[in-house]
């Protein structure tokens, strides 16, 4: 049997065979599902790095949509043929006006796209022949090619097999000419917007069952194309033909101008519709269900058993089975199963663990003692005596007391009187500790992160559990798979060390260690993101350090700060260089931008929140939950983005008073 973690190594679409991804793709149960193949207009599929754009578009490619393993296909499925093309960025870089001339560069790019899409269209004929249609196979054989297309490509033998051979030769000719334009003869260029509709017409004449056949071409990584090449693609989107519709996929925020070769632009709704994968995953907890199904699918592929009778792997891959997966019974059973495999300790259980863990309990004693000294009350009260561990509720109140007693706004005698009343069993409805929205509810999790932050070698179980893995990864399925892989790998290592057979569930300490391993690896990987990786790494590091400093405050005033906003009126003061870096951070998902729903100001509303990717939270030992934010001035953000380390330290001390930190946390400054 293979290692349980091995199936989780395939985290990118490129890790699978170039043909079909049908048995790997999980159809996401989006609220507003769009069958892109049947859509009458162009569609752009966008989302951050790792959210599944390439898998999504490859699923609609003919290799997957017409996979022999997909049964019960209708003839209609043969009339919308998905073609997939991801341009070679290095080769496209040579198709430039500076190297080839302005007009030649555009013609060469269109020719390059045409050759690749035609090659995939030839493969689509084989996919049609192998597909399992309800009304029987559509036998095409080696069909003839129409005179128009044969003339355009100089085919002496107008057949599909001859076309395949010619396409290989034409691609070699193009590459030789592009690399040696002054020595090689210029190829005879064709336009993909012209040859593909002609090929579709040739194919639909082969059988009445193919009447109305159209190609749906998916151009992946659209953002990597130079602007002149994007214009050529936008021409095809703007002036679509019934037998060729062009779809594009790109990183969110990476493309905001859809200019054609003329002064026209591709316009939303009129010319294309958008599928925002990140937004779709966030509606109705779609990410949690798909992540759970992905976990079970990978365990199934590794030959591992689990108790989930409703889970049927073959139903994950077909849009026709969405209704089965949409039932509450199915969802509940799948989530219950994965939560058994990756159990999550509650905040109350973690609080109880603090009481029995000597180093953590000592940190709580020191926290309370610091507050007593701050209020000059050490003579009247002893920190150790203020910790009550006789009931779970009292444990939680004791931990929260550690933060409250460090706040200037509280009178220590009144606070301790309320604490004694709350922990004596007199849980009144107005009790500030335990009432809904009270001190325990609002501060317990933040206090737990604060306590664990001072013990960096300790397994921080605040990150353990399936639901927490989802919160760390959402909307990035690649990160979720990495978390599962690291967890199972560490679990297997423990089995080898102990000589025992591993049983489910997986220990929460193992999960916590895996979260830290993945978080640190992903954070280090920021350096490799695009041409601004070094600046993005510095930005992520500075924001993480800022949120880390807020977490280290003993008072935990405004706990769990892990995102920020800038007032709308103030953001205009940012330099173009700072705005450009912010945009790069969003393109590469170092930051997420969301609508601000909790602004406290009635006169100067910040339109959006900027959230440091939660996957970095274990690296900085901060909360992953979007709970509270800090509103920065434009000057603060400018320093964080672009200025020297010394200037950043000054801003850090301005935002977080070093005197508020616990005694063992001064290394932040």
Confidence of residue 664 (pLDDT cuts 50, 70, 90): low
Report, as an integer, the average pLDDT of 619-640: 94
Q: pLDDT higher for 27 or 660?
A: 27
CA atoms of 58 and 36, how far apart (whole Å) = 11
* pLDDT higher than threshold 80 for residue 11: no
For residue 311, is pLDDT > 90?
A: yes
Pairing of strands 608-612, 591-595: antiparallel
**pTM (predicted TM-score):** 0.91
Cβ atoms of 187 and 173 within 8 Å: the answer is yes
Residue 485 pLDDT level (bands cut at 50, 70, 90): very high
Q: What is the pLDDT of residues 171-224, one digit of tens each?
A: 999 999 999 998 889 999 999 999 999 999 999 999 999 999 999 999 999 999
Q: From 633, 628, 592, select the one nearest 610 (Cα to Cα).
A: 592
What distance in Å separates the CA atoms of residue 31 and residue 457, rounded to the nearest whole number?
42
Q: CA-CA distance, 148 to 205, in Å (whole number)?
A: 14
User: What does the pLDDT average to over 348-352?
Assistant: 96
pLDDT digits (tens, 9 = 90+) for 86-116: 999 999 999 999 999 999 999 999 999 999 9
- CB count within 10 Å of CB 269 equals 8
CA dist 504 and 525 (Å) reads 31
pLDDT beyond 60 at 503: no
pLDDT above 90 covers a percentage of the chain that reads 80
- Residues 472 and 515: beta-carbon distance below 8 Å: yes
What angle (nearest 5°) sits at the alpha carbon of residue 39, between those of residues 35 and 40? 170
Whole-number mean pLDDT of the chain? 91
> According to the model, what pLDDT value does residue 50 have?
87
Instruction: Answer yes or no: is pLDDT of 668 > 70.
Output: no
CA dist., res. 589 & res. 607, Å (int): 19
Decide: helix, strand or coil at residue 224.
Answer: helix
Bridge pairing between strands 214-219 and 244-251? parallel
Please give the average per-residue pLDDT across 377-406, as a whole number: 94
- 524 pLDDT higher than 70: yes
> What pLDDT sits at residue 8?
83
Q: Six-digit token pair at 184?
A: 């090689």
Q: Residue 122: which pLDDT band, with cuts at 50, 70 and 90? A: very high
pLDDT at residue 665, as a whole number: 54
Q: Which has more confidence, 366 or 500?
A: 366
Residue range 126-133: mean pLDDT, rounded: 94
Token reading at 622: 């901060």
Mean pLDDT of 417-432: 83
Distance CA(568)–CA(258), nearest Å, equals 27
Q: Tell me how crowded residue 135 is: count the other CB atoms within 10 A of its CB.
A: 9
Residue 251, SS3 per DSSP: strand
What's the confidence (pLDDT) of residue 500? 44
pLDDT tier at 661 (50, 70, 90 boundaries)? Answer: confident
Q: Give yes or no for residue 603 having a pLDDT over 70.
A: no
The residues facing 217 across adjacent strands are 83, 246
pLDDT band at 509 (very low <50, low <70, confident <90, very high): very high
* Greatest CA separation for the chain: 102
């Amino acid at each position: 049997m293979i290692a349980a973690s091995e199936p989780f190594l395939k985290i990118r679409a490129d890790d699978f065979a170039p043909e079909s991804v049908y048995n790997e793709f999980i159809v996401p149960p989006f609220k507003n599902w769009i069958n892109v193949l049947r859509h009458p207009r162009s569609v752009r599929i966008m989302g951050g790095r790792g959210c599944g754009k390439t898998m999504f578009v490859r699923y609609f490619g003919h290799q997957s949509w017409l996979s022999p393993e997909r049964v019960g296909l209708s003839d209609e499925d043969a009339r919308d043929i998905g073609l997939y093309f991801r341009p070679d960025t290095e080769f496209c870089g040579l198709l430039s006006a500076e190297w080839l001339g302005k007009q030649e560069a555009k013609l060469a790019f269109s020719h390059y796209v045409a050759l690749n899409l035609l090659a995939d269209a030839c493969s689509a004929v084989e996919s049609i022949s192998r597909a399992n249609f309800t009304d029987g196979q559509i036998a095409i054989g080696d069909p003839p090619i129409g005179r128009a297309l044969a003339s355009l490509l100089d085919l002496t033998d107008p057949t599909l097999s001859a076309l395949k051979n010619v396409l290989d030769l034409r691609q070699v000719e193009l590459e030789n000419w592009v690399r040696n334009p002054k020595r090689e003869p210029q190829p005879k260029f064709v336009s993909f917007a012209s040859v593909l509709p002609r090929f579709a017409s040739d194919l639909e004449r082969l059988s009445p069952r193919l009447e109305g056949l159209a190609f749906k071409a998916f151009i992946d990584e659209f953002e990597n194309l130079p602007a002149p090449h994007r214009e050529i693609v936008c021409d095809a989107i703007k002036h679509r033909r019934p037998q060729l519709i062009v779809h594009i996929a790109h990183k969110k925020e990476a493309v905001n101008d859809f200019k054609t070769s003329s002064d026209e632009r591709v316009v939303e709704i009129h010319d294309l519709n958008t599928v925002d994968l990140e937004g779709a995953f966030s509606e109705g907890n779609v990410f949690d269900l798909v992540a759970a199904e992905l976990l079970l699918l990978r365990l199934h592929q590794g030959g591992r058993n689990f108790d989930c009778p409703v889970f049927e792997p073959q139903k994950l891959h077909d849009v026709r089975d969405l209704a089965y997966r949409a039932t509450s019974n199915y969802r509940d059973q799948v989530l219950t199963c994965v939560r058994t495999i990756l159990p999550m300790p509650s905040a109350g259980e973690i609080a109880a663990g603090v009481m029995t863990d000597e180093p953590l309990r000592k940190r709580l004693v020191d926290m309370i003692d610091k507050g007593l000294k701050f209020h000059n009350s050490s003579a009247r009260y002893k920190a150790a005596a203020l910790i009550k561990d006789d009931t779970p509720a009292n444990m939680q109140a004791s931990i929260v007391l550690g933060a409250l007693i460090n706040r200037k706004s509280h009178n220590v005698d009144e606070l301790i009187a309320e604490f004694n009343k709350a922990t004596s069993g007199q849980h009144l409805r107005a009790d500030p500790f335990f009432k809904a929205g009270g001190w325990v509810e609002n501060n317990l999790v933040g206090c737990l992160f604060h306590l664990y932050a001072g013990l960096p070698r300790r397994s921080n179980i605040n990150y353990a559990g399936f639901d927490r893995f989802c919160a760390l990864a959402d909307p990035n399925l690649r990160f979720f798979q990495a978390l599962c892989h690291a967890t199972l790998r560490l679990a297997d290592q423990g089995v080898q060390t102990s000589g025992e057979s591993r049983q489910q569930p997986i220990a929460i300490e193992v999960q916590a260690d895996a979260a830290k391993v993945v978080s640190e690896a992903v954070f280090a990987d920021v350096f490799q993101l695009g041409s601004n990786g070094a600046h993005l790494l510095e930005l992520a590091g500075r924001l993480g350090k800022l949120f880390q400093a807020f977490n280290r405050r003993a008072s935990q005033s405004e706990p769990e700060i892990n995102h920020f906003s800038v007032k709308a009126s103030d953001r205009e003061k940012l330099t173009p260089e700072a705005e450009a870096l912010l945009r790069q951070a969003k393109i590469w998902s170092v930051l997420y931008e969301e609508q601000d729903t909790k602004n406290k100001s009635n006169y100067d509303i910040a339109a959006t929140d900027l959230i440091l990717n939660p996957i970095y939270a274990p690296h900085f030992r901060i909360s992953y939950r979007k709970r509270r934010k800090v509103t920065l001035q434009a000057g603060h953000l400018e320093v964080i983005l672009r200025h020297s380390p010394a200037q950043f330290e000054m801003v850090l001390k301005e935002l977080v008073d070093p005197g508020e930190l616990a005694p063992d946390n001064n290394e932040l400054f």
